């Protein structure tokens, strides 16, 4: 069996800008830290400013000199998604890597986003879809620009009910 991939194999990211959603914890935090270690300028796109600041502090501690920024993004609000994209466009000319990582799972009882979409569908899918669309033109002409959408092995078991995308039943 081949050796497992490790973050040490991330190629040099100097000169590249990455946005990681939900970067204050879990997979997003690790991805942001390791991209920073590889030299990327990393924007932590988070909904909780305090958690974002703490994650930024920890990454700077692990990667002295790393370029880390925190941006406010609530994927459960399309106004917030638009606000983040506008802020990003003011602060950055380009983006090389967008990691759509943030997510919620199986909210019970059923909850809605600020725009009235079922919470998981609205946050994980629609929020990221809107974010990607709003940032995509900043990737134009960038070599090796990528959008990575984190999913789950659970998708193999699931089925989409296209007649009830808002999970009302
Ligand atoms: N860990 C696993 O075993 C596993 C398995 C399958 C799939 N996944 C997927 O992998 C991704 C990361 O998982 P994880 O385990 O690292 O999860 P996690 O530690 O719970 O992190 C989820 C992140 O998403 C953020 N988030 C949730 N709702 C948000 C919103 N409306 N706007 C902005 N950010 C929001 C959370 O912010 P707050 O801290 O503010 O809540 C948190 O930073 C998720 O998409 C998850 O579905 C993980």
Residue 62 lies in a domain: yes
**HEC sequence for 6-28:** CHHHCCCCCCCEEEEECCCCHHH
Query: Which residue range(s) make up the domain with 111?
Result: 15-151
- CA 23 to ligand 1: nearest atom: 43
Residue 100 lies in a domain: yes
Residue 65 Cα distances to 58, 131, 165, angstroms: 12, 28, 45
Residue 36 C-beta-side C-alpha neighbours within 13 Å: 27
pTM, full prediction: 0.97
Rounded Cα distance, 26 and 92, in Å = 26
152 lines ligand 1 (CB under 6 A): yes
Residue 162 lies in a domain: no
Residue 10 lies in a domain: no
Per-residue pLDDT of the chain (169 residues; tens, 9 = 90+): 568 999 999 999 999 999 999 999 999 999 999 999 999 999 999 999 999 999 999 999 999 999 999 999 999 999 999 999 999 999 999 999 999 999 999 888 999 999 999 999 999 999 999 999 999 999 999 989 999 999 999 889 988 899 999 999 8
Residue whose Cα lies nearest atom 19 of ligand 1: it is 26
- The confidence score (pLDDT) of residue 50 equals 98
Q: What is the CATH number of the domain that holds 74?
A: 3.40.50.720
101 lines ligand 1 (CB under 6 A): yes
For residue 165, give every residue at least 6 positions away whose Cβ sits within 8 Å of its Cβ, in sequence order, or none.
Answer: 118, 121
Residue 167 lies in a domain: no
Number of domains in the chain: 1
**DSSP category for residue 108:** S
Residue 89 lies in a domain: yes
At 150 the three-state DSSP class reads coil
């Amino acid at each position: 069996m081949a050796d497992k991939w490790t973050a040490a194999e991330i190629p040099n990211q100097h000169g590249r800008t990455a946005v990681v959603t939900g970067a204050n914890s879990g997979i997003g935090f690790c991805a942001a830290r390791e991209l920073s270690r590889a030299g990327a300028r990393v924007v932590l796109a988070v909904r909780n400013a305090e958690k974002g600041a703490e994650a930024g502090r920890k990454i700077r501690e692990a990667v002295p000199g790393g370029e880390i920024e925190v941006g406010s993004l609530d994927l459960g609000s399309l106004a917030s998604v638009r606000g983040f994209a506008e802020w990003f466009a003011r602060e950055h000319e380009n983006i090389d890597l967008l990691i759509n990582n943030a997510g919620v799972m199986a909210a019970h009882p059923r909850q809605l986003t600020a725009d009235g979409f079922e919470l998981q569908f609205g946050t994980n899918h629609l929020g990221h879809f809107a974010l990607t669309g709003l940032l995509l033109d900043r990737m134009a002409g960038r070599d090796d620009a990528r959008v990575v959408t984190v999913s789950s092995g659970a998708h193999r078991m699931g089925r989409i009910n296209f007649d009830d995308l808002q999970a009302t039943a």
